[in-house]
Structure 1
Amino acid sequence: MQQTIAAPQRDLRPLLALVATAAIGVFAWLAVSTEFGHSLAAYDPAVTTWTVRMRHGLVTAVAWPLTHLGGTLGLTLLTLAVCALLLLRGRREHALVLAGAMIGSSSLTVLLKLVFARSRPAASLLLGEPASSWAFPSGHAFNTGVFAGVLAGFVLFSTTAPARKVLAAAAACAAIVLVGLSRIYLAYHWLTDVLAGWSIALAWLCVVGVIVLTVRRRPRMLPAGGGPRAPAAGSGRPRDQA
C-alpha cells in the first residue's frame, strides 16, 4: 500500500482563475475596440500625437534602454541569465517556471499578433527603424509583464520579510509600466496595444500560477512504512509531551 500526503494550505486557484477571466475580458474589450475603432481605441491617434509633441532628449535617452530590455533579445538574455542563477542556487523549479512562462508568452505574442493583424502608427512618427511585426498586442508590454511578474511572484510567495515583498512588487510594476510607456513614446505602439499587452500578461501569469499550484498540491506518494513510526511498546523511550 501507499500513503498520500498533502500539506494543507489555502487554495488560491479560484481567485487566480477569477482574475484571469477578468483580465481576458479586458483584453477582449480592447480587441473589439481596436477592431472597430471605437471606445478607447478612438483616442489612440490623439495620445500618440500628444506623446510625439512632448518628446524630450533626456526622456528619449531613457526610453531606448527600456525598450531594448523589454525586447526579444533583451528578455531572452535576461531570462537565460536568471534561469542560470536559479539553477546555480538549486532552485530548479523556479527556473522551470520562469522558462515555461516566457516560452508560453512569446508563443502567444506571435499568435495574437497574427490573429489581429493591427497596423502600427505611421513610420513618420517613429524614433527608430520600423518593426516588421503587427501592433496588437504589444509584445514588449506582454513579455515584460510576464518576466517581471514571475520574479515578483517568487518573492511574494516566499517567506521573506513583508518589506521585501512590497519592494519586489513595486519594482516589477515600475519596470512593466516604464517599458510599456516607452513603446508609446517611441511610436511603435498605440495606447491600446500596450494596455492589451498588460491585460493578457496578467491573465497568463494567473494561468501559470494555477498550473504551479495544481502541481504542488498533487499528493506525494510515500511507500508504506516510509512515514514516521511510533515507538514500539516497551521500548523504554519517553513519550513526547504535548
Structure 2
Amino acid sequence: MTRDSSALPPQRSGPPSRPGSRVPGWFAAAFAWLVQRTSPHAALLITLAAGLVPAVLLTLGSAEVYESVTESEGVARLDQPLLDAALALRSPDLDTAVTAFTNLGGSIGMPILAAAAVAAMAVKWRSWTPVLLVAAAAAGSLLMTVAGKELIGRARPPLTEAVPPFEHSASFPSGHSLNAVVISGVVAYLLVLHLKSRGAKVLTVLAAAGFAAAMGLSRVYLGHHWFTDVLVAWTLGLAWLAVVITAHRLLHSRRAAGRAAAGGSAGPGQPPP
C-alpha cells in the first residue's frame, strides 16, 4: 500500500477546522504530542491502548452493578421469562437457522467476517487504518469479555434448556454480543465515512445495529446466555466503540491541522481513507 490516507474523506471548502474543534483541546494536544514523537498510526494505537484502561474499569464497574441488581432480582427478573419465551418459539428448522447465524459471531465466524471486510477496505482505500482500527477494537472487546467472565463466573442457563452444541465457559458477559457490536460498529463507521448518499449511510448503520441486536437475541434464543449477559455486553460494546471512534477522530483532526499548517488542502481528487 503506497498511499497512507488515514484521514476522513475530503471536506467541503472553507476554513480548516481546528484540532480541538471536535474533541477536548487538551486531548487533541496530547495526541499531537504523541504524533510528533512517534507516528500517526503509532499515536492511534497508543491512544487506543490507553482507552482500554477506562474500558476495563467500566467492565469491572458493570460487574459490580450487575451483582447488585441480580441480588435484588432487578433486571434479572427478565432472564427466566425471556428464556421461557424462547423455548416456546423453538423448532428444529429454526434452531438450525439460528445456530448457523450465531456461529457468525463465534471464534471462527467473526474473525473471518472481520478479516474479509478489513482486507476489502484496506486494498480499496490503500490504507492500513482499517487494519489497525479493527484489530485494536477486537483486542479490546476480547479483553473486556475475558475480564468480565473471570470476575463474575456466572453459570449459563441449564443445558436442558439450551440448543446444542453446548458451551461451558462463564456466561457473563456475552462475547458474541459484545464482539458483534464492536466489530460491526467499527466497519459501519468506516464505511459511512466514504458513502456519499445519506440513504446508504442510514442503511449501513441500521444493518450494523440489526446484526448486533440479532446476534445478542440469538444467544438468548439458543439458551447459551441469559438476557442480562447480552444486555450488559451491548452497553460495554457501545462504550468501547465510542473510544475507538474518538481515537480515529483525533487522528483525522491532527492530519487536517497538519495540512492546514502546510498550506495545503484536500483536493476533490484525493482518495478516501
Query: Contact 2:102–2:215 (CA<8 Å) still a contact in 1?
Result: yes
Residues 169-184 of structure 1 mapped to structure 2, 5 A cutoff: 169-184=205-220
Q: Which residue of 1 aligns with 2:105?
A: 70
| Unmatched tracts of structure 2, length 5 or more | 1-14, 26-50, 265-273
Question: CA separation of 1:37/1:129 partners in 2, compared to 1, >3 Å: closer, same or farther?
Answer: farther
1:221 is displaced (CA, Å) by 5.3
Which stretch has the larger CA shift, 102-111 or 197-206?
102-111
Which stretch has the larger CA shift, 104-113 or 162-171?
104-113
Query: Contact 2:63–2:152 (CA<8 Å) still a contact in 1?
Result: no
Please provide the CA RMSD for this pair: 2.9
4+ runs deviating over 6 angstroms: none
Counterpart residue type for residue 66 of structure 1: F
Asked if 1:203 is matched to 2:239, the reply is yes
Q: Which residue of 2 aligns with 1:40?
A: 75
Secondary structure at the counterpart of residue 91 of structure 1? coil
Q: Which residue of 2 aligns with 1:240?
A: none
Query: Contact 1:113–1:134 (CA<8 Å) still a contact in 2?
Result: yes
Counterpart residue type for residue 90 of structure 2: R
Task: Kindly tell me the number of residue pairs found equivalent between the two proteins.
Answer: 215
1:207 is displaced (CA, Å) by 0.9
Q: Which residue of 1 aligns with 2:130?
A: 94
Asked if 1:126 is matched to 2:126, the reply is no
User: Of residues 17, 31, 38 in structure 2, which corresponds to 1:8?
Assistant: 17
Flag the structure with larger Rg: 1
Deviations 1:187-207 (A, max 9, x none): 000011111111111000001
Query: Contact 2:220–2:227 (CA<8 Å) still a contact in 1?
Result: yes
Distance 2:226 2:24 in 1: 33
TM-score by length of 1: 0.78
Deviations 1:143-188 (A, max 9, x none): 0111111111113333521010011011111111111111001100
User: Of residues 94, 119, 122 in structure 2, which corresponds to 1:59?
Assistant: 94
Counterpart residue type for residue 232 of structure 2: A
1:209 is displaced (CA, Å) by 1.3
Secondary structure at the counterpart of residue 44 of structure 1? helix
Distance 2:64 2:228 in 1: 10
Distance 1:135 1:190 in 2: 8
Secondary structure at the counterpart of residue 213 of structure 1? helix
1:83 is displaced (CA, Å) by 2.1
Question: CA separation of 1:29/1:56 partners in 2, compared to 1, >3 Å: closer, same or farther?
Answer: farther
1:35 is displaced (CA, Å) by 4.4
Which stretch has the larger CA shift, 119-128 or 86-95?
86-95
Distance 1:167 1:117 in 2: 37
Query: Contact 1:119–1:135 (CA<8 Å) still a contact in 2?
Result: yes
User: Of residues 174, 177, 180 in structure 2, which corresponds to 1:141?
Assistant: 177
Query: Contact 2:138–2:179 (CA<8 Å) still a contact in 1?
Result: yes
TM-score by length of 2: 0.70
Counterpart residue type for residue 40 of structure 1: V
Residues 212-231 of structure 1 mapped to structure 2, 5 A cutoff: 212-218=248-254, 227=263
Distance 1:60 1:13 in 2: 48
Distance 2:83 2:107 in 1: 23
Q: Which residue of 2 aligns with 1:157?
A: 193
Distance 1:46 1:183 in 2: 15
Query: Contact 2:117–2:187 (CA<8 Å) still a contact in 1?
Result: no
Secondary structure at the counterpart of residue 157 of structure 1? helix
| Unmatched tracts of structure 1, length 5 or more | 1-5, 229-242
Question: CA separation of 1:169/1:181 partners in 2, compared to 1, >3 Å: closer, same or farther?
Answer: same
